[in-house]
Every structure is written in structure tokens, then in C-alpha cells.
Amino acid sequence: MAGEEHVAGAAEGKLDIIGHLLDHHYLEVPYFNAHHFFDGKIDLPHFAPFELYGIPIDMSITRHVVMMWIAGALLVTLMLVAFRRSKEVPSGLAGLFEPMVLFVRDDIVLANLGPRGLPYLPYLLTIFFFILTCNLLGLIPYGATATGNVSVTAGLALCTFATILIAGIANNGLFGYFKSLVPHGMPLWLLPIMIPVELLGLVTKPFALCIRLFANMTAGHVIILALFGMIFMFNNEAVGLIAVPFAAVIYLLEIFVALVQAFIFTLLSALFIGMAAHPEH
Amino acid sequence: MDMTGIGAGIGAGLVALGAGWGIGRLAAAALEGTARQPEASGDIRTTMIIAAALIEGVALFGQVVCFLLATG
């Protein structure tokens, strides 16, 4: 069938865990008798990969791309509608977003970057709300977690990496930034060790951001899918009496983790940008 | 004899053990700090959540490696 992907190991009567986590070239139709509508899947445009300097780049629209578009469109619409009329005391939708914006501004940017860090506030706000929306969209039935795709989180980590470099080089000069990586007052014989270590540390921090977000988002879904898979494994509906409440509790934990991971990504990005801009503290 | 599955399983268990121990100690310290000085409970709670997320991040690095071992 066009667009359908078979994952090795998915057998009849077994829950295809990896298949539910991966990116697919089709959208699932959220309806009861889904196979009456488009065979239950909406095929998305599939472009052939093209070569760029020997790296094959696949620009087809997949499920996670659609989820990211939905998150972006949702955020833009909600923010424009909420802050259309700026009042002294915000109400309605603005009352939902304003505490979150103030929280990012006061507790993340001003606390870690100081008043001179306010130029970075738009980037950090974008990161926070985008990751939060993508995480929460993955929890809706028939939705996919875009941040559960390592490419998406790698892209976000690359944006943070670029901002760290821009902040460091703009504040300290090109050579001054790399000089500031190595701690001051090092004995000369330690430099051959410290320089590779510090350069590696420069790359490791955004990499850790990427993997942390990806693994947290995927792990929650794996646990829920594994719990439901136990029902199929024992081929007994009574296991559902235990599995469904467990899965519901893990689901609530996942909502908490979605919030915390967005906060942690933004906080660590702000910390790294602050460390790059003002290395003396 | 292919021991990849056993290795992945033991690794995942050890990772979970390490994360549980670390976050348990963290929670104990946070509770003790809040008991000594209840006014600082807001700051302590925020620091606890940040540290727990970082520890969990490290634990999930290990879990990702075990998952890759198990499936490939």
C-alpha cells in the first residue's frame, strides 16, 4: 500500500512500538472507522532525496514536519489573538501567556544573563513556547511528538549553538572568545590537554541539550506503548485493568515532563549564552 | 552467542538504578533544606527540578545507548 511502512519485527497481534515512535510519510486519520476514509492514512508529499555535497537531503513532508507547522501556526494565531488589545491587566488568553512570558523573562533571562541579556529574550521565548507546544501536541491522540525526532531536537540545539557562538564572538571578539574558553592562569604544559577538552566541551553542551530533549520525549511514549503492548503480549483483556491505570499515571507524568523539558532547554540555553557572553563569571 | 540483548537489558537497569539513587538523594536534601528553612521552599523546589532534569538527562543518554543496542 502506498505510504505504508513495515518495520521489521512488527507481527500480527503485537503492538508495533517502534513504528509508533518513528516518522512516517503519512498522517493517521483520527476517526473511528478510519479505514473508510483514505484507507486510514493521508499520504503526504514524498520528494526524492537530492544530493548536496555528497549528503542526501530528503525534503519530503512527514508527520513530524506537519506537527511542527501546526505548532507554529497555533502559536502565531494564539499569540496574535491574545495580545491584540494590550490592556494593563491582561485577561482571557493573554492572562494565560503573560505569566509564562514573564516567567521566562524574569527567572531565566534576567536571572542568568542580566539586563544586558534582553536582546536574547525573543529567541529564548520562541524556543520555550515552540518546544512546549510540540511536546504537548504529541500527547493528543493521533498526534506525533515532533521533538521526539532527533533531527528536530538537533536543529533546535544547532540554533542554540549558533546563538552561543554569536553571543561569544560579538561580546569578546573572534579570537577573544576562543581564548576565554581556556581558564585563566593555566600552566603552559596543560594547554595541549585543555584546548581539545574545552573545544569538545563547547560541542558537547548543545549535543546534550539535543539528546536530553529527544530521549525524555521518546521515553514517555515508549513506556506507555510498552504497557499497552503487555495486553497484546498476554492476549488477555484482564491485563488492561492494570495496564490502563498505570498508563494513565505515566501520561500525567508525561505532561509534567513536557513542561519541565521545555523549561530546562530554555534555561540551559540561557546559561550557556550567558557563559559565552560574559566568561568572567 | 549474541549477548546484545542481555547487555542492553542490564545496561538499562543499571542506568535506571543510578538515576533513581541520584534523584533520591537529591529529593532527600531538598526535603531537609525545606524542613530547616520553609521560607526557601520555592527556591529549593526550582533547584531540585532543574537538578533532577539534568540527572535524568544523563540517565536517558544511557537509555538511548541501550535502546540502540537492543534494536540494531
* Mean pLDDT in residue range B15-22: 95
The crossing angle, in degrees rounded to 10, of helices B4-36 and B41-71 is: 180
CA–CA distance, A38 with A158 (Å, rounded to integer):
37
Most confident residue range from A4-8, A57-61, A97-101, A176-180:
A97-101
For residue range A161-185, list pLDDT tens digits in order: 999 999 998 888 888 888 888 877 7
Q: How many CA atoms lie within 13 A of A193 on its CB side?
A: 5
Candidate from B46, B49, B60 with C-beta closest to A212: B60
A133 touches chain B (CB under 8 A): no
| pLDDT at A8 exceeding the cut of 90 | no
Other C-beta atoms lying within 10 Å of the C-beta of residue A115: 7
Q: Checking DSSP bridges between strand A55-57 and strand A50-52, what pairing results, if any?
A: antiparallel
Contact between B53 and A212 using a beta-carbon 8 Å cutoff: yes
Which pLDDT does position A281 carry in this prediction?
Answer: 55
CA A68 vs. chain centroid, Å, equals 10
Nearest CA in chain B to A213: B57
> What cell does A242 get?
492494570
Model confidence band, residue A87 (pLDDT cutoffs 50, 70, 90): low
Mutate to test the interface with B, among A112, A147, A212, A216 (most CBs of B within 10 A): A212
Helix, strand, or coil (residue A94): helix
Question: Is B60 within 8 Å of A260 when comparing Cβ atoms?
Answer: no
Domain boundaries, chain A: 2-24+62-277
* Chain B residues with beta carbon closer than 8 angstroms to that of A259: none
Q: Which of A173-182, A213-222, A259-268, B19-28 has the lowest mean pLDDT?
A: A173-182
Residues of A in contact with B57 (CB under 8 A): 208, 211-212, 215-216, 264
Q: What is the pLDDT of residue A280?
A: 66
Q: What contacts A156, CB < 8 A, 6 or more positions away? A: A127, A130, A131, A147, A209, A210, A213, A265
CB-based contact B49 A261, cutoff 8 Å: no
Q: List beta partners, residue A42.
A: A27
Q: For residue A62, what is its C-alpha cell?
A: 512527514
CA separation for the pair B62, A243 (Å, rounded)? 26
d(CA A19, CA B32): 44
Res. A38 pLDDT band, cuts 50 70 90: low
CA distances from residue A247 to A69, B19, B23 in whole angstroms, order as listed: 28, 21, 22
Burial class (CB in 10 A: 0-12, 13-18, 19+), A205: buried
A114-137 pLDDT tens trace: 888 889 999 999 999 999 999 999
Question: In whole angstroms, what is the distance from residue A164 CA to residue A277 CA?
Answer: 8
Set of cell numbers at residue B24: 533520591
Q: Which residue has the cell 533520591?
A: B24
Residue ranges of alpha helices (H) inside A23-116 are: 63-82, 93-103, 111-113
Q: Between A249 and A175, whose confidence is greater?
A: A249
b/e sequence B56-71, b meaning 16+ C-beta within 10 Å: bbbbbbbbbbbbeeee
Kindly list the residues from chain B whose CB atom is less than 8 angstroms away from the CB atom of residue A212.
53, 56-57, 60-61
Chain B residues with a Cβ under 8 Å from any Cβ in chain A: 46, 49-50, 53-54, 56-57, 60-61, 63-64, 67, 71
Query: Residue A81 and residue A69: Cα distance in Å, rounded?
Result: 18
Tracing cell 526557601 back to the chain, one arrives at: B40
Q: What is the pTM of this model?
A: 0.87
Interface confidence, given as ipTM, is 0.84
Look at residue A4 in the predicted model and tell me its pLDDT: 36
Q: What is the mean pLDDT of chain B?
A: 91
Residue in chain B lying closest to A207 (CA): B61
Chain B CB within 8 Å of residue A191 CB: no
Q: A129-148 burial by CB neighbour count: b if 16+ within 10 A, else e?
A: bbbbbbbbbbbeeebbbbbb
- Give the closest-approach CA distance of A77 to chain B in angstroms: 31
Model pLDDT, residue A13: 59
